[in-house]
Chain A
């Protein structure tokens, strides 16, 4: 019965081969409860990501043992990173790992760095947009630059946090456009939106995943590699507008402790791949959170993270956030 059900689901997602041999294909499998570290508080983006993944794994019978989510917030991710790092060679510990977490490693010069963790895979990507209030006179990026040149008071651009994704996106925009914009950090995208709609700031950067309402906020340009899907399909990318340097894809991936065994890495990679193909993950997580679904394996993720990290520190240095 379960076999049939699994077969049906697998057939739907087009990954028959993998599902049929699941259970016996791995050289290592969990023997006890798995600890799933979330380095942020309950209810945040990483927490939702972890809990949805656990739900997907459970409902599709991908992992036999129980997975317990363990929130270890603090130090912009540093506490969770170091907790996972101290697990040494424990194959039963995994952790959510995202772009913001890696940025705070860079900006805070944290003790535990990317090299001290084992990337396992990446299931989702997010990107950022630059926008103005829907009732603003600014219709395009060009208008905004023109306005910046004319207005002696300057243009203020709001974003969530300092030294994070939004700030980095701002830094890229500001240096490539050669404009003298002013970054104004807020406590969260909610506060940015209020300030934008209330006319207190001129423009804002925000993540695709924050699902900004197109009726309220007019997006001028996206930092994505390709055009986004509806309702943002009429928003040009910065590359299209002639600024290929302004590009930022934020990853949502997973990592393990530094000395995780190769067999365990292969196991988690396989499990993540199956999750990424499941209908539930795509419908309930990717779509509802407005993210871009993807799958990168352990090695590919490690390479991607390393490249991005170098780019982050370069950009942060360029704008003087770090020395």
Chain B
């Protein structure tokens, strides 16, 4: 560790990494903001020292100050090291977000089946047959295991309620 490690990394840095090092910098800034916020609330609102002992804000203050100062150091003095990654890599989370949004309408089981079906069809470019088999199979398994056996109260969805 130490100085030598960091110099080595700089030598290894490829032009591509250089271009995409924005994200880690953003993460670091996010941590600084969170740390400052937690420390401020800990110190001014919840109290660091109460009744001769650590108060409700003690751990937030310590961890907030620690995280903020270390992350600030990281931001200014440590070369950013990151794997090449683009903003596009987040689309699976977006797709899942849409699937979750559809749960109140389609219900948990159907939403998740459709998600699997579309994913395999569109993203993985498999055949219709394979997509439908996996999607329906997963849906049935979900229903049997969670709905029927474990009695997890899944959201039913408007669609099913209308059909009833």
Chain A positions near chain B (C-beta within 8 angstroms): 35, 68-70
Listed by A's residue number, 5 A-B pairs whose Cβ atoms lie within 8 Å are: A35-B153, A68-B151, A68-B153, A69-B151, A70-B153
Report Cα–Cα, A69/B153, bound state, in Å.
8
A35 to chain B: closest residue by CB: B153
Report Cα–Cα, A35/B156, bound state, in Å.
13
Report A-chain residues with C-beta under 8 Å of the C-beta of B151.
68-69
Closest 5 CB pairs of A and B: A70-B153, A68-B153, A68-B151, A35-B153, A69-B151
Count residues of B near A (Cβ-Cβ below 8 Å).
2
State the Cβ distance, A91 to closest chain B Cβ, in Å. Answer: 16
State the Cβ distance, A43 to closest chain B Cβ, in Å. Answer: 14
Report B-chain residues with C-beta under 8 Å of the C-beta of A70.
153
Report A-chain residues with C-beta under 8 Å of the C-beta of B153.
35, 68, 70
Which secondary structure characterizes the binding site on chain B?
Answer: loop
Interface 1/0s, chain B 138-164, versus A by CB < 8 A? 000000000000010100000000000
B151 to chain A: closest residue by CB: A68
State the Cβ distance, B153 to closest chain A Cβ, in Å. Answer: 4
Report Cα–Cα, A70/B155, bound state, in Å.
11
B164 to chain A: closest residue by CB: A32
Report Cα–Cα, A68/B151, bound state, in Å.
8
Report Cα–Cα, A70/B153, bound state, in Å.
6
Report Cα–Cα, A70/B152, bound state, in Å.
8
Report B-chain residues with C-beta under 8 Å of the C-beta of A35.
153
Report Cα–Cα, A35/B155, bound state, in Å.
12
State the Cβ distance, A58 to closest chain B Cβ, in Å. Answer: 14
Report B-chain residues with C-beta under 8 Å of the C-beta of A69.
151
Report Cα–Cα, A25/B110, bound state, in Å.
41
Interface 1/0s, chain B 112-153, versus A by CB < 8 A? 000000000000000000000000000000000000000101
Report Cα–Cα, A68/B150, bound state, in Å.
12
Report B-chain residues with C-beta under 8 Å of the C-beta of A68.
151, 153
Report Cα–Cα, A35/B153, bound state, in Å.
9
Report Cα–Cα, A68/B153, bound state, in Å.
8
A69 to chain B: closest residue by CB: B151
B153 to chain A: closest residue by CB: A70
A32 to chain B: closest residue by CB: B164
State the Cβ distance, B84 to closest chain A Cβ, in Å. Answer: 40
Report Cα–Cα, A70/B154, bound state, in Å.
10
Interface 1/0s, chain B 7-38, versus A by CB < 8 A? 00000000000000000000000000000000
State the Cβ distance, B73 to closest chain A Cβ, in Å. Answer: 37
State the Cβ distance, B46 to closest chain A Cβ, in Å. Answer: 15
Report Cα–Cα, A69/B151, bound state, in Å.
9
Report Cα–Cα, A68/B156, bound state, in Å.
14
A37 to chain B: closest residue by CB: B153
State the Cβ distance, B36 to closest chain A Cβ, in Å. Answer: 27
State the Cβ distance, B65 to closest chain A Cβ, in Å. Answer: 27
Report Cα–Cα, A62/B74, bound state, in Å.
67
